[in-house]
Chains A and B, each alone.
Chain A
Amino acid sequence: AQSVTQPDIHITVSEGASLELRCNYSYGATPYLFWYVQSPGQGLQLLLKYFSGDTLVQGIKGFEAEFKRSQSSFNLRKPSVHWSDAAEYFCAVGAQAGTALIFGKGTTLSVSS
């Protein structure tokens, strides 16, 4: 069965420090992988996606993620965190176009000054 694991429930990072959020997935075929961000009281905003090709993908707001098939991972990174990055981050996996996404339970990011 498809599943997504985000091992870190809550992470606190100092402003200006680097960030890495972990995501591991279980999927039988080549997955479509996504990272979404959710601010309090808001819907989910797509940060980046991976379908095929280059395994390092760039997204909005300075985020990037790397797909590692051998590790079944799709970790999200940012070199320098801003206070406005504090939010809930969700990793998701999907099959072919038009099917439902399977989400992880999310990682809450806090940014300290």
Chain B
Amino acid sequence: EAGVVQSPRYKIIEKKQPVAFWCNPISGHNTLYWYLQNLGQGPELLIRYENEEAVDDSQLPKDRFSAERLKGVDSTLKIQPAELGDSAVYLCASSLSLVTNEQFFGPGTRLTVL
């Protein structure tokens, strides 16, 4: 069974530039999460989707961050414009929410903003 796929794995951009991250969850997992992991910290939720609906986006900085999950499968997280403080690892996870809260994580995208 394929795991959670994320791309790109690494991204380096200049501040004020836009950037996008892509996530493909495990097949059949209806819940998708985007987490932010700063250096030396545990992951923190940015947004959670149930199918195509964003059910928890309270921690998403909506002035510069946006996300979508078209057709309830793949998801894209965008930052525009990026700031120096956005340098972090962006993790995508998925779960089969009707069963357990066991979440499966992708390898993450490491963003560096210069």
Contacts and interface: CB of A to CB of B under 8 A. Distances in A.
Interface residues of B, number: 29
B44 A43 contact: no
Interface string A78-113: 000000000000101011111111011110000000
Interface string B73-114: 000000000000000000101010111111111111010000
Contacts of A36: 105
A43 B100 CA distance: 20
Contacts of A97: 95, 97-101
Contact of B42 (A43, A98, A106): A106
Kindly state the interface size class of chain A when it binds its partner: 20 to 34
Nearest to A9: B40
Interface of B: 4, 6, 31, 33, 40-45, 48, 50, 56, 91, 93, 95, 97-108, 110
Interface of A: 4, 32, 34, 36, 41-46, 49, 51, 90, 92, 94-101, 103-106
